[in-house]
Structure 1
Amino acid sequence: MRASRLLSILTTLQARERITAAELAASCEVSLRTIYRDVDALSAAGIPIYADRGAEGGYRLLDGYRVRLNGLSPSEAEAMFMAALPGPAADLGLDGAMMVAQTKLMAALPTNLRDHARRLRARFHLDAPAWFSQAEQPPHLRAIAGALLRETLIEIRYQSWKAEKHRRVAPLGLVLKGGNWYLAGCVDGSVRTYRVARVLACAVLDETFDRPADFDLVAYWQTATRRLEAELHPNRASLRVSPLGVKLLEILSQPSVKAETHVSEEADEDGWRIAVVPVGTSLQHAASDLLRLGPEAEVLDPPDLRQRMAELSQAMARRYRTAAGRRDA
């Protein structure tokens, strides 16, 4: 443990021009006295560490001194692929490794590139979840990620839309989309997608599996999402929308729906236009989506969807009239 801490102190000193003992103590999660002892040990080993006193003081290395201590451990190498994603790295248990890896990389860079890297880190940030939603914190994510890296089978209890299921899965990949984690896993010879937050229980088995040599996670995910989007919105509805309704379609529609939505260029005398939008398979699903547009849209076709929208609107109006009457009584 101490050897690892000494290496961490040395790489930190190489990555930064000056750092205080308090900052080192906080970074290493040890006391100031421990840092003082460690710095003395490094100095005794011939490392040219200097202490500058005063308000702008701190520890620094002799100008130009370099030592090659930049080899990455396996977990740090894995964390490199998450370098721009501190939240997801923490979900996978790689946040500490990621910080160490970034420090080692910073130490290995020449001064001009090091300054550029600092500017990039200070000016860019990725917030993966969509607006007004929280990133999921699946309790079994780390166990699944560990099995994925070791290529061992897992047994999961999974809550699907219809029922609770038990599956024996060969984990092939994890994908983060919109703040949610998804597992691509092989079951009975076919690859399926599972939302990790719906995994109710997970047991990592000792049994290994042979990962398909031709499996491409990126290609699989692109195909699977296109298929899902097509299945969720296979039908079309014709709407009459107000100018505000056109803006709401742009704001509220999912990207796949937005891409397939067509709004006419011509407007009637009230400024309303005709829009053709993808809708779900069931009347309830389609009506629920379109109700978000409120009075700024009128369904023209198909007739059964128009009828369902009328029924829901009338039911809502009755409910609010009843509630207003109770309040006034």
Structure 2
Amino acid sequence: MPAESTPDPLAHPDRQRAWLDVDLGALARNAAAVAARAGVPLLPMVKADGYGLGAPAVVRALEPLAPWGYGVASAAEAAALRAAGATRRVMVLTPVLPTELPRARAVSLTPALHRAGDGRAWAALGGGAWHLAIDTGMARAGARWDALDDALLSAVGAHPPEGAFTHFHSADTDDASRAEQEARFREAVSRLPARPPLLHAENSPGVERAGGASAWDLARPGVFLYGVSAGGVLGAEPVAHLRARVVDLRDLRDGETVSYGATWTARGARRIATVPAGYADGYRRALSGVGRALLHGRPVPVAGRVTMDMTMLDVTGVPCAVGDVATLLGRDGAAVLTAAEVAAAGGLSPYELLTGLRGRVPRLYDTA
């Protein structure tokens, strides 16, 4: 019998234009590394559709690690997780409006509350567990650590929260703010009628850059899971790999220009490849003239402005044919363009880059 041929993974119908390869195996390994470092149960952040990579698939990949629950930013995100089959706790860490509490109850979520009236309203709905949000310096949401008023303390006493939490504003730096915020958090918790069973504070950089195991009861990893490290003792594996095929090639003469505004001029004879991915796919316009791609494992610069649907690459000196695959983010062989590196080139945050990847780009999942 003739040998059975191995299917070409690039022959997939969704790999004919631009696509996002999502390495769920790497995501799970990143989560396992955080869990081992923190030594406490995880509350992984899967908000913003799993940081742009697809929350249902992310949750399925994390389930074998038995996390305490999952973190989202809205009742709508929680409802979407429930519809996708998520059965663990789903916690909404953004403040929930009083008008949203019935929906929150309907999808069995755990809200973050910090106003006395909201706590009483949640209890009146029979809502169950909730967590008290305490602001220790982020000045974004939660009850101020040094201003827990009598009404709130009374509501906490009448309907005790399951947990209390705060959020570090600069855990990715070496300044003293983390210790200050932790001291403020402890001060606030000491004023509560009783210590809630679950206290949590650490985000991804908080775990990475901690001196050892967590001092709290839960850890809340976010961007590290998706391949972005804060430079601590752990190293995140790349998870997102944005790729696009070369759909056109042209040779330019010295002095000819590329793309809108003619901002890029050929210095000598150059070869330009066009790939069908642009800012409508999440490859940001800020990467115009400063971004790079990988072609056959070799870096090639972005030539001119990134357009809505296409990006041009200077492939001079690199073997290139129509149909070849360029990697705009992620790994190509031994070479890697990390989310942090690509974002920095465009003056962006890696959070912006990942959550900005658009739905037009199919997500293809690898679980190995």
Greater helix share, structure number: 1
Q: Greater relative contact order: 1 or 2 (C-alpha under 8 angstroms, separation 6 or more)?
A: 2
TM-score of Structure 1 vs Structure 2, range by shorter chain: under 0.3
User: Normalising by structure 1, what TM-score?
Assistant: 0.22
**TM-score normalised by the chain length of structure 2:** 0.20
Indicate the structure (1 or 2) with the bigger Cα radius of gyration: 1
